[in-house]
Structures are given as structure tokens and as C-alpha cells.
Amino acid sequence: MKHLTIRITALTAIMVLIGCTSDTDNNIVLSIEHGALTYEVNGNLQTKITSKIPTSKTLTPHFQPSETIEVNGIVIDRFNYQAVQEDSVAGEMSGKQWVIEGGFENEGISILKTVRLRAYDSFPDLISTQVTYVNTSSENLIVDQWSNNAYRVPAQNDAPPFWAFQGSSSSARSDWVKPLEAGYYQKNFMGMNDSDYGGGIPVTSVWRKDINLAVGHLALVPKQVSLPTEVHSNPIEVRVGVQEEFEDHTLFKPKDTIQTLETFVSLSTGDYFANLSKYSKLMQAKGISMVEAEEGAFEPIWCAWGYERDFTLDEVIGTLPKVKELGIKWAVLDDGFQIAEGDWNANPKKFPQGNKEIKGLVDKIHDHGLKAKVWWAPLAADPDSKVLMEHPDSKIRMENGAPQYITWWNSYYLSPTKEATIEHTKETVRLFMEEWGFDGLKMDGQHMNAVAEDYTLEHPEESVEGVPGFFQMIYDQARSIKPNAVVENCPCGTCMSFYNMASMNQAVSSDPLSSWQIRHKGKTYKALVPHTAYYGDHVELSDGADDFATSFGIGAVLGTKFTWPDDNPKASGSYVLTPEKEKVWKKWFDLYNQMMLSKGTYLGGIYDIGYDRPEGHLIQKDGIHYYAFYADTWNGPISLKGLDTDKDYAIRDYFNNATLGEISGKDPVYNGSFNDFLLLEVTPK
């Protein structure tokens, strides 16, 4: 079989006690080679991971208890090997499968452990794990947690020792990609972490300069598990894994079975891009279907949020000529038009003539040759909103009976699988797109990423697992009304749920706290949904409130929330489009419309966003390489990776329209200096 060899040996008469060493610790009962990944299992059903990549160093120096269960307060990490069986896996997900059995008996505890390992033909360097535990004792046991793919990886004198991508969400709105030092810990719980923050991408990817190791789970719906990341000292090593903790002691009766999720370990070189891309492709092969790209989603955007909630119709309409003049294609009506979250009709205090005034605004936007998008916070409903007055049972109720609360709007969560929520949502989409005529939806709010368990349901976890289907319903409804509708999902500040990505055709950096966040969020989306438009959000949220270069260089859609004109008393401060700023804005939007790098191919595996300096990104479009480099200040050699060694190239700084000379693909090093950014067009001669 391509990429795959195996070796199986037998063991006899193994006795193992908790915490004791054994002569079976290094006795290998199964060895799998899948691409560059060697996966070994010893007689205690512990594992060792080795990389065959020539430049890689030690990953796991010893066999480790990667799959464990905590019973009666004791972590059981050694099981006596009993048998192994190898089978082929047929169908679209073809490959090989091994089922290994082992047993544990000590002090009245008797458990049978069965480990199923899979190596998929189309996904080398990745092996998945699913474990089943059976209580073979005569007594009830208490189970607190299980853990899969738990590894300790030593540092190799890099500075910093490790970088990591972590896919969890919290109110801290912290970086998804960050350096790790000794003493670091992050739980990475995939359920609710705060009142309205939760969910994410169930993958942790940690790397050194020589190797990247990723772990995660492969369930097709969100699951409330953790992927903790911890860095220890003496020696410095990073610990990762996937674990489920049971909130209440779970009774494990005789002959009962506990089965873990299917989890995985995957290797790559470079930063997290390759492993995250592989994960997404595997999940799609398993059945998650990503929607097609939409042409209009790549067009630049102006949002009325610069005027915030107290905007007036005159302000929005008065800005449209300048929006068109700058070459922007979309105008977005943001928060503040509605009666309440949960009653999305026009607020009569702002619109005395009601809904027809918003319909008139959409007509004005269209008259200017622009497309119109409307802001919306689905799943949010104010306590006195129409939907909750008519359907009070549509909201989520947590285990203590209280409704789940959304802090930003002082609202309650609607339960995504309840019929009243679904019908209310469909009616809202019809209002926006049929009655008012909007061309797209800006779904917004950190609360959209995940929900709590709804204890009014027979199976409370159905609300958690039903969120992706809710957003798919919105996408289908919007596209049934307007076949080219752009559906943006903007979970403010959170690490977006991978499962919700399947029903949007425009991703967004969603309230970034820095240009660094715009860039690494863009790299993340381009790994997971590479064909989908990625919007860098309002440039006013970037460093200096004017860092168009960050979005431009990584192939993101440009956007702004400027206010205009400058004699408007409300159009003051950092958002006003002054004549000086207008020249800069005009240059960037003209350049964007000419080059459309957002439609190019982002080559995320070329540069390591953690260790390479200066920070580099590469887009290929129409046979031309477009490089973007970022640093506060740089003066020295810059490696132009990814060029053909048998070609010569001309180099141009396309932002400043300056010819910089030529370079050979055999020695692609350019000596240059810049502050903040350098954007290069490298064309074969």
C-alpha cells in the first residue's frame, strides 16, 4: 500500500501495575509507517511517535500513555496487550485499520480497552484513534475523564521553544497563533467558556523549527471537549492532547461501554497551515460540505458602522457618492435600524414611515451601482422582543433553569433547533432579502459561534450540535431568494467554529485587535476554506487604523467604515475621511480592484509565520508571485521562497511602482529594507 507499512509482533504473559515500569515498556507490538509518520504501540498500549522527515529531530523520546481513562480517581495509563487485528478500510475513505485489545485488572477494577487506529490512503502523515472501554468488573465504577493523543514533545533550543495554533474561543479574544514559553497553559475547551463565547476549531497545532505536530478530533458536529496546551520546564516540553471531562461523576456500570471521539495525530513541516489544511480536507471527505465561492464576496466593502447605532438615513445616503467614487462595491447597513434583537423591523423612532424607509435606502444604494448588505445578530433576542413575547419557550434554558445570556446586547440566546427559532429566522431573512431587497447578510456577534446545552430538550446537547445546521438553513434560505447572495459570518473576536464555515461564502477577521490578528486569521481561513473570500474587516481596526497593506498582502478583501464629509459634526475623530486620507484610501482601493489578489492562490506552506523573519506571505496569480513581508523595521536579506530554480525573475515593488531589479530562482535572496511592509511582484522573465 502506498505510504504504508506495518509490523506486528506478539507478546505473552504481561503484568502491569499503575505507575510501575515493565520490561514491556519498549516491546513493540505494532508499528505503522504512514507517510513520514511512524506510530508504534508497546505491550502496555502506550505509543511513540517518530518522524521520518530528514530534517526533523526527536518528537517523543519514549513510549507515552497517550490514551488514558480516569476511574475512581485513578488515571489508568497501562493496559496488558492481548491481541491486534488488521483490516482494510474500503470506500471513499479507504485505508488500513488496526484494532488492539488490552486489559487492566487491579484492586477490584477490571477494564477492557480496545483501540482502533486508522491510516487513510489519501491522508499520509495522519493516524486517527478511537478507544472503547468496557467495565469488565462486577462493581460500579466512577469515570471522570478520558484522554486521547496526549503527547509530550521536547524543545530543541529554538527561540521561542514552540509556536502554537489553538482553536478555542474566549472573551479574551486572544491571538489564535502565539509563541509558547515555559509556564504556559491554555485549556482550549470547545464548549462555552464565557456567557457568550465558545466553540472553535478542534485542532491544536504546535511546532518547532523542524517539525509540526497537530492533534484534534474528527466528529462531524461540535463536541464539548478540551485540547489543553501546556509547556513544562526542566526539561522544556509542550504537552497536548484531546480530553473529555465529565462534569458530574459518571457511573460506569458492569458491562457498560464508554467510547471516545475519533481523534488524530498529524505531522508536517513548517507552521500550522499544512496540518490545518489536511484536517479540513479530511473532514470534507468525511461528509462536511463547504459551499461554493461567490464572485460578489470578493468585492470591497464600506460599512456604515462608522456612524455607529445613532446613524441617520441622511448620513448613510450622503456617504454613498464617496463610496462609489473610491471604487467600493458594497454598502452595509449596520446595527441600530431594528426595534430590538428578535424584532428586526424598522425602529419607528428612527424610521417614522417604517420598513419602507429601509426599502428606500436599499433602492438608493442600488441607484449608486452598489450592492447592499444588512447587519444581523441571529440567535439573539431581547427579553421584550417580538419573538420571545410570541414564543417564550424558544430561548435556551441552562441546567439551573436560567436562560443563556448574551452580554453585548443584553439579550437571550434562541435555541437553534427549535421550530419557533427556525421560523422566526426564515421570516427575518425574507424581510431582509425579499421585502427590503438586500443582496447579502452580515451575521455578527460572538454569540453565534456556539451555544450552551438546552435543558428544555430531551437531549440537551442537541442545541450545541445543532448550530451548524441553523446556519446552513440561513444560507439556503438567503440563496433561494437571491441566488448570488453573499453570506458573511462574523463571530466577533472569537476563533470561528469550523462547523459554521460550511455555510458562509465570506469569512472575516471579525473585530481584530491588531494587524497580526488580521494576518494569522487570514492564514487560518485560507487553510480551512481556501476558495472562500476572506474579508480583513474595517481597516480602521488595523494597526494605525490605516494598515491596508496587511489585508492586501495576504489576499484579503479590503473594507472601511469611514465617515464623510468632514464638516459633518458627527464625522470627527479617527473615522472621518479627510482629504489627506482620501488619497491613501483611493490608491489602495484602485490597486485592489486592478489586482484582485484575493482571488489568487495563497501558498500558506511556503513561509513559517512563527519562525521566519521577516514575516512572509505568498500569493500566486496568473503565473506571477506576489510576496508580502511585514516587520516594524527590516534591513537585510529576504528569501523569496517558492520560485522555480531554472528561471530568472523581475522584481517590482507594486505599491510604490518601483522596479527593483532581477533575481535568479537558484539564489532567490533579495537584500532590501523597509518599515512596516514590503509588497513585491515577482514575474518570470
CATH number of the domain that residue 444 is part of: 3.20.20.70
pLDDT at 8: 39
Residue 291 DSSP one-character state: P
pLDDT at 304: 97
pLDDT at 284: 98
The 3-state DSSP class for residue 481 equals: helix
The answer on 540 and 641 residing in a single domain is no
**Chosen domain end from 230, 259, 286:** 286
pLDDT level of residue 645 (50, 70, 90 thresholds): very high
Instruction: Give the whole-number percent of the chain exceeding pLDDT 70.
Output: 95
pLDDT level of residue 20 (50, 70, 90 thresholds): very low
The answer on 110 and 240 residing in a single domain is yes
pLDDT level of residue 10 (50, 70, 90 thresholds): very low
The string of pLDDT tens digits covering residues 187-233 is 999 999 999 999 999 999 999 999 999 999 999 999 999 999 999 99
The 3-state DSSP class for residue 353 equals: coil
pLDDT level of residue 107 (50, 70, 90 thresholds): confident
Residue 643 DSSP one-character state: -
pLDDT at 515: 98
pLDDT at 565: 84
pLDDT at 6: 39
pLDDT level of residue 386 (50, 70, 90 thresholds): very high
**Chosen domain end from 548, 579, 601:** 601
Instruction: Give the whole-number percent of the chain exceeding pLDDT 90.
Output: 93
The string of pLDDT tens digits covering residues 273-305 is 999 999 999 999 999 999 999 999 999 999 999
The answer on 55 and 13 residing in a single domain is yes
The answer on 357 and 492 residing in a single domain is yes
> Would you say residue 406 lies in a domain?
no
pLDDT at 569: 62
The string of pLDDT tens digits covering residues 451-499 is 999 999 999 999 999 999 999 999 999 999 999 999 999 999 999 999 9
Instruction: Give the cell for residue 313.
Output: 438615513
The string of pLDDT tens digits covering residues 429-454 is 999 999 999 999 999 999 999 999 99
Domain of residue 652: give its range: 615-684
The string of pLDDT tens digits covering residues 235-256 is 999 999 999 999 777 899 999 9
Q: At residue 21, does pLDDT exceed 70?
A: no
Task: Give the amino acid at 539.
Answer: V
The answer on 574 and 641 residing in a single domain is no
pLDDT at 253: 96
Quickly list DSSP for 380-418. EE-TTSHHHHH-GGGB-B-TTSPBPEETTTTEEEBPTTS
Average pLDDT of span 511-521: 98
The answer on 147 and 49 residing in a single domain is yes
Q: What is the CATH number of the domain that holds 653?
A: 2.60.40.1180
| CA-to-CA separations, 313 to 32, 36, 570, in angstroms, rounded | 65, 60, 13
**Chosen domain end from 286, 317, 349:** 286
> Would you say residue 453 lies in a domain?
no
Residue labelled with grid coordinates 419607528:
348
Q: At residue 307, does pLDDT exceed 50?
A: yes
Q: What is the CATH number of the domain that holds 122?
A: 2.70.98.60
The answer on 12 and 153 residing in a single domain is yes
Average pLDDT of span 571-577: 77
pLDDT at 15: 26
The answer on 238 and 128 residing in a single domain is yes
> Would you say residue 53 lies in a domain?
yes
| Least confident among 75-79, 561-565, 623-627 | 561-565
Q: pTM for the whole thing? A: 0.95
The answer on 635 and 582 residing in a single domain is no
> Would you say residue 327 lies in a domain?
yes
> Would you say residue 329 lies in a domain?
yes
- Where is 591: in which H helix or E strand? helix 579-595
pLDDT at 579: 94
> Would you say residue 511 lies in a domain?
yes
Alpha carbon distance 107, 93 (integer Å): 42
pLDDT at 566: 64
Domain count for the chain, please give it: 3
Q: At residue 117, does pLDDT exceed 80?
A: yes
The answer on 213 and 233 residing in a single domain is yes
> Would you say residue 165 lies in a domain?
yes
Q: 77: alpha, beta or left, given left = phi > 0 and alpha = psi -120 to 50?
A: alpha
Alpha carbon distance 368, 68 (integer Å): 63
pLDDT at 13: 27
The string of pLDDT tens digits covering residues 362-383 is 999 999 999 999 999 999 999 9
Average pLDDT of span 16-28: 55
Average pLDDT of span 56-84: 97
Q: At residue 76, does pLDDT exceed 60?
A: yes
Average pLDDT of span 319-338: 98
pLDDT at 568: 63
The answer on 30 and 165 residing in a single domain is yes
Residue 435 DSSP one-character state: I
Sequence-separated (6 or more) residues with CB below 8 Å from residue 374: 332, 333, 337, 432, 436, 438, 440, 441, 442
Q: b or e along 175-207 (b: 16 or more beta carbons within 10 Å of the residue's beta carbon)?
A: bbbbebebebebbbbbbbbebbbbbbbbbbbbb
Average predicted confidence (pLDDT) for the chain: 94
The answer on 277 and 304 residing in a single domain is no
The 3-state DSSP class for residue 480 equals: helix
> Would you say residue 458 lies in a domain?
no
